[in-house]
Structure 1
Amino acid sequence: MAHVICRQPVETPVLDLLVRERAMAVSAREWKFRLAGYGYAIKDVAGAQVVTKLPQNIELGVLTTQIH
């Protein structure tokens, strides 16, 4: 069964948090660990980065640009 990707962009307050935390993290792995502390996760689905809310795993939106 194919996974349907949420196509809406991530809301600005969440995007600001993601960018700020990525700037402070040394690696992508650390960034994802830091986001988990805030209750968020990043999934790579069909070449897109999808932001989800933990622990429900609810898709919040797609990152329109890759944050490395």
Structure 2
Amino acid sequence: MTIIIKQDAFVTEEVMQIVAHERAVALSAREWKHRLAGYGYSIRDTEDGKHVLETLPHHVALCELPDELFH
């Protein structure tokens, strides 16, 4: 499955700051995903083991998330 990612470098950087901050304060991955939903984002796990940040409710892919956020 091919993922088309809509990227704007400035917007992606701003969103990644929010994502990283929320991961740092969340006690679990489940809480992190819930917190991101409050901002209008979701994380989709792909078939090849990658994680893609998407908008809610339309599921437009924004960027691939680095693996270090999941460890």
Identity of matched residues, %: 42
1:21-42: per-residue Cα shift (whole Å, max 9, x none)?
Answer: 0001000000000000000000
> What is the TM-score of this pair, normalised by structure 1?
0.84
Q: Which moved more, 1:6-15 or 1:53-62?
A: 6-15
* Conservation of the 8 A alpha-carbon contact between 2:22 and 2:35: yes
Distance in 1 between residues matched to 2:27 and 2:21, nearest whole Å: 12
Q: State the aligned residue count.
A: 65
Q: Given the alignment of the two structures, is residue 4 of structure 1 paired with residue 5 of structure 2, yes or no? A: no
- Any gaps of 5 or more consecutive residues in structure 2? none
Q: TM-score, normalised by structure 2?
A: 0.81
Regions of 4+ moved over 3 Å: 6-10
CA pair 47-7 structure 1, distance change in 2 beyond 3 A: farther
Give the Cα–Cα distance (whole angstroms) in 2 for the partners of residues 7 and 34 of structure 1: 22
Higher helix share: 2
Give the number of the structure with larger relative contact order, counting CA–CA contacts within 8 Å between residues 6 or more apart.
1
Backbone CA RMSD of aligned residues: 1.8
Deviations 1:11-66 (A, max 9, x none): 10010000000001000000000000000000110211100000011111111x21
SS in 2 for 1:56: coil
Does structure 2 retain, via aligned residues, the 8 Å contact 1:6–1:62?
no
